[in-house]
């Protein structure tokens, strides 16, 4: 991506120095790229969310967490190496995240006009208290509709390039743009609509609704990328960028993750869509640049 000295968004909170509370375990998950907590919470309660997400993490990770009790009780981590209160965020990562965020504000304000109000991105480290309960690195980045904020442990970017073999700046921007896509869904009433559908659905049907929500967010990420242009009107996407996003979308499909973690694939349990579906959604949005192609 071609990012120079563009505007950096001020809708950004760096709490990396104030977080770091956690279960004391190691490793990151990332199985749940784009978890949307309250949607699941409506089915299982907030405690259930944590159990579910961590359960999924243990399944999908070779590392595993220390002792996830599932109750959301935070215990101080003994592994914190920086003084409390001091940011642990790398300045270049901070710049990248805030510039991408600024581009999402420009694009969605243009596409939605006055209907768009920016989301805030919270960068935390290891664990933090979100408006939707405890945020844990293992959950992967997520959007919380209750406080309308995105929670991101930027260590997830390392996971993307190493564990998921999806390196590159656009792979990372896709993650942010996907979460902003959930914010767009929130503003457009799609999340409420999905919530209502799930309230009277079976578990398998509820998961299918969740997949549609996630695929629309992928499609919105593609729409964003197609419309992200610098002040001179030149696209910020460069040769090879889109392929980086497609690699990430492929790596974090439910079928791929399940095959890696448990050897088998259980379609009824999918919550984000298959690799092929996620790639198709991202591509559809990118090719057209029109949010109307991203039907829920
Ligand atoms: Zn998502």
pLDDT of amino acid 144: 95
> Is the pLDDT higher at 77 or at 239?
239
CA atoms of 143 and 57, how far apart (whole Å): 18
pLDDT of amino acid 25: 39
CA atoms of 249 and 247, how far apart (whole Å): 5
Least trusted range by pLDDT, from 66-70, 73-77, 147-151, 167-171: 66-70
pLDDT of amino acid 81: 54
Contacts of 149 (CB under 8 A, 6+ apart): 13, 119, 120, 121, 122, 130, 131, 143
CA atoms of 194 and 182, how far apart (whole Å): 12
Distance 81 CA to ligand 1 centre (A): 31
Q: Specify whether the CB–CB gap between 104 and 8 falls below 8 A.
A: no
Quickly count: other Cβ atoms within 10 Å of residue 152's Cβ.
23
Q: Specify whether the CB–CB gap between 190 and 213 falls below 8 A.
A: yes
Distance 181 CA to ligand 1 centre (A): 8
The fraction of the chain above a pLDDT of 90, given in percent, is 71
pLDDT of amino acid 29: 40
pLDDT of amino acid 103: 98
CA atoms of 272 and 9, how far apart (whole Å): 28
User: Around 174, how many Cα atoms within 13 Å sit in the side-chain half-sphere?
Assistant: 35
Distance 83 CA to ligand 1 centre (A): 33
Residues 198-232: tens digit of each pLDDT: 999 999 999 999 999 999 999 999 999 999 999 89
- The pLDDT-based confidence of 138 (bands split at 50, 70, 90) is confident
Distance 225 CA to ligand 1 centre (A): 17
Residue 76 has pLDDT above 60, yes or no: no
Distance 232 CA to ligand 1 centre (A): 31
CA atoms of 207 and 194, how far apart (whole Å): 11
Residue 194 has pLDDT above 70, yes or no: yes
**DSSP alpha helix (H) spans, the chain:** 37-60, 91-112, 155-162, 169-188, 190-199, 203-227, 241-251, 254-262, 275-288
Residue 67 has pLDDT above 70, yes or no: no
Sign of the Cα pseudo-torsion (154, 209, 185, 286, in order) = positive
pLDDT of amino acid 85: 77
Residue 33 has pLDDT above 80, yes or no: no
Distance 260 CA to ligand 1 centre (A): 20
Distance 78 CA to ligand 1 centre (A): 31
Residue 42 has pLDDT above 90, yes or no: no
Distance 178 CA to ligand 1 centre (A): 6
Q: Look up residue 271 and give its DSSP letter.
A: S
Distance 1 CA to ligand 1 centre (A): 22
CA atoms of 179 and 196, how far apart (whole Å): 21
Distance 153 CA to ligand 1 centre (A): 15
Residues 15-31: tens digit of each pLDDT: 998 876 544 433 444 34
- The pLDDT-based confidence of 75 (bands split at 50, 70, 90) is very low
Distance 275 CA to ligand 1 centre (A): 14
User: Around 107, how many Cα atoms within 13 Å sit in the side-chain half-sphere?
Assistant: 27
Mean pLDDT of all residues in the chain? 83
End-to-end Cα distance, the chain: 28
Residues 145-163: tens digit of each pLDDT: 999 999 999 999 999 999 9
Strands 149-152 and 35-36: unpaired
Distance 195 CA to ligand 1 centre (A): 14
Distance 4 CA to ligand 1 centre (A): 28
pLDDT of amino acid 36: 60
CA atoms of 118 and 102, how far apart (whole Å): 9
Q: Specify whether the CB–CB gap between 183 and 143 falls below 8 A.
A: yes
CA atoms of 77 and 74, how far apart (whole Å): 9
Distance 242 CA to ligand 1 centre (A): 19
pLDDT of amino acid 184: 98
């Amino acid at each position: 991506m071609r990012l120079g000295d563009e505007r950096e968004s001020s809708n950004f909170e760096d709490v990396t120095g104030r977080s770091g509370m956690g279960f004391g375990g190691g490793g990151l998950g990332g199985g749940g790229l784009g978890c949307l907590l309250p949607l699941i919470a409506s089915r299982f309660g907030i405690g259930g969310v944590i159990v579910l997400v961590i359960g999924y993490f243990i399944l999908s990770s070779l590392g595993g967490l220390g002792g996830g009790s599932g109750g959301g009780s935070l215990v101080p981590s003994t592994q914190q190496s920086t003084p409390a209160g001091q940011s642990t965020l790398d300045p270049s990562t901070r710049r990248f995240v805030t510039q991408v965020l600024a581009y999402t504000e420009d694009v969605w304000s243009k596409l939605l006009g006055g209907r768009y109000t920016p989301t805030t991105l919270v960068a935390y480290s290891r664990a933090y208290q979100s408006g939707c309960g405890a945020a844990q690195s293992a959950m992967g980045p997520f959007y919380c509709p209750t406080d309308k904020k995105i929670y991101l442990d930027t260590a997830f970017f390392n996971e993307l390039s190493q564990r998921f073999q999806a390196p590159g700046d656009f792979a990372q921007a896709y993650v942010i743009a996907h979460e902003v896509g959930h914010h767009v869904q929130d503003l457009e009433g799609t999340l409420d609509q999905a919530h209502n559908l799930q309230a009277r659905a079976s578990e398998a049907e509820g998961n299918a609704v969740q997949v549609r929500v996630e695929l629309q967010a992928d499609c919105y990420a593609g729409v964003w990328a197609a419309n992200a242009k610098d002040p001179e009107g030149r696209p910020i996407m460069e040769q090879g960028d889109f392929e980086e996003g497609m690699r990430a979308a492929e790596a974090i499909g439910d079928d791929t993750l399940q095959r890696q973690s448990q050897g088998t694939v259980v379609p009824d349990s999918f919550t984000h869509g298959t690799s092929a579906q996620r790639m198709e959604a991202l591509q559809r949005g990118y090719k057209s640049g029109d949010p109307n192609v991203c039907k829920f």
